[in-house]
Amino acid sequence: MITVVLGTQWGDEGKGKVIDYLAEDVDIVARYQGGANAGHTVVVNGRQFIFHLVPSGILYPDKVCVIGNGVVIDPVSFLEEVSYLKDNGIDVEGRLFVAENAHITLPYHKLLDQIEDRFRGKGSLGTTGRGIGTTYADKFNRVGIRAVDFLDDDIFRNKLDIALELKNYLFREYYKEKMLNKDKIYEEYKEAREGMKGMVRNTSLYLHDEVEKGRHVLAEGAQGTFLDIDFGTYPYVTASNSISGGACTGLGVSPKKISRIIGVVKAYTTRVGMGPFPTELDGEEGDNLRKTGNEYGATTGRPRRCGWFDSVLVKFACMVNGIDELVMTKLDVLSGQEKIKIGVAYEFGGEIHNDYTFNSKVFSNCSVVYEEMAGWCDDIGRVKEYRHLPANAKKYIERIEQLIEVPISKISVGSSREQTISK
């Protein structure tokens, strides 16, 4: 059985905590897309862990974690995370696997990502600069290096040669940058290749066998639905399929094996990087949400843009992902707001749009039709049962459920595992 967990907005919905919470009841946690651009924050017994590549399920000593073929792996970042875990008493030996056919991010990917985003000028995407888009571009351009290639001396040298040929031409002739040296990269990655050796395997076969044996797999998405390369606010998106369908291609599992899809939704909306954001709050209101919610990127430290809940977006996310239930995070951040707004439609050129649109003219320039609700003042961080939430908080949750037509099964009211309410 496979359960998929993913973000329903622009990432940073608090998936790290939700995955950590759900991981308790599964056997394997498997990540299916993205790379070191993601930052999943988990707080256990007052200790904070930030994961970029390793699934947060690793904190449970009896869980196996898989990094699927849909993920792009920066070996340095990955091994740093592994050694950080080891230093903190978390042993990953024999329970952390990397797909043989996952693509590897190398220094030229990062360099090119940063240069390209700079060269885009006004059209800059505000990428994380982690070489994500450029690694996926090489994969699709068929000049990528997979984990299995990376480990083989001859293949790695050969593929590095081919990849660097074009990259160095671009660096030298077009971007006027220094060229990268193949031998230097080869030497620099010797240790990383050694470090990854015992972990790389055919994870598609492994997952298939485990599912056949009756094991429960939690497939973890990174980023969020509106950063999906196909369904997000293109071109202001990441370079992979973060939607639930991505779990099949990113892990090599059959859609027939997926039995449940859980969406994570923040009680308001945030976005990092460039791109349209209809319900964004400028000025003091946005600043206040950012401060209260500590909305700074876990990967880049950039301040997140903040705004009201957008039910049009989340409704589309529920549809395109086939979401069965939602977990709402950070409801506590809204405490103290006198009035809370929910975006329920967009207005552009005198027309009302009740649905998410791929038309960037509409989506970038629309105004939002809001519903306004009364807020609550109580600190809800210690509330353990749904019925003890302030009446206005319950009204807010129930109105959102009505608008998006999917039940909210859990509500998170703080960063620790215990601050989770079942509804």
**Site of interaction with ligand IMP (CB under 6 A):** 11-12, 37-39, 125-128, 130, 132-133, 222-223, 227, 236, 238-239, 272-273
| 236 vs 346, beta carbon nearer ligand IMP | 236
Six token digits for residue 65: 């974690």
Q: Which residue's CB atom is positioned nearest to ligand IMP?
A: 273
| 227 vs 408, beta carbon nearer ligand IMP | 227
Distances (CA, A) of 276 to 346, 353, 358: 13, 16, 11
Sign of the Cα pseudo-torsion (134, 136, 140, 142, in order): positive
CA within 13 Å, CB half, 253: 35
Cα 394–325–227 angle (5° rounding)?
A: 105
Q: Determine the longest span between alpha carbons in the chain, in angstroms.
A: 65
* Active-site option among 12, 74, 113, 310: 12
Distance from the first to the final alpha carbon of the chain: 24
| 129 vs 195, beta carbon nearer ligand IMP | 129
The question of whether 20 is a catalytic residue gets the answer no
Reduced to 3 states, what is the DSSP secondary structure of residue 96? strand
- Round to whole Å and give the CA distance between 15 and 39: 9
Cα 6 from chain centroid (whole Å): 7
* Active-site option among 40, 52, 103, 109: 40
* Smallest distance, ligand IMP to C-beta of residue 133, A: 4
Whether 145 contacts 106, CB under 8 Å: yes
| 30 vs 53, beta carbon nearer ligand IMP | 53
Nearest to 23 by CA among 58, 53, 68, 71: 58
| 68 vs 133, beta carbon nearer ligand IMP | 133
| 246 vs 273, beta carbon nearer ligand IMP | 273
* Smallest distance, ligand IMP to C-beta of residue 106, A: 16
Beta strands in 106-257 (DSSP E): 200-201, 217-220
* Smallest distance, ligand IMP to C-beta of residue 182, A: 25
Burial zone of 369 (CB within 10 Å; 0-12 exposed, 13-18 middle, 19+ buried) = middle
* Smallest distance, ligand IMP to C-beta of residue 244, A: 17
- Round to whole Å and give the CA distance between 423 and 124: 42
| 221 vs 414, beta carbon nearer ligand IMP | 221
- Round to whole Å and give the CA distance between 5 and 264: 7
In sequence order, the 6+-apart residues with CB closer than 8 A to the CB of 93 are: none
Cα 192 from chain centroid (whole Å): 24
Catalytic residues: 12, 40
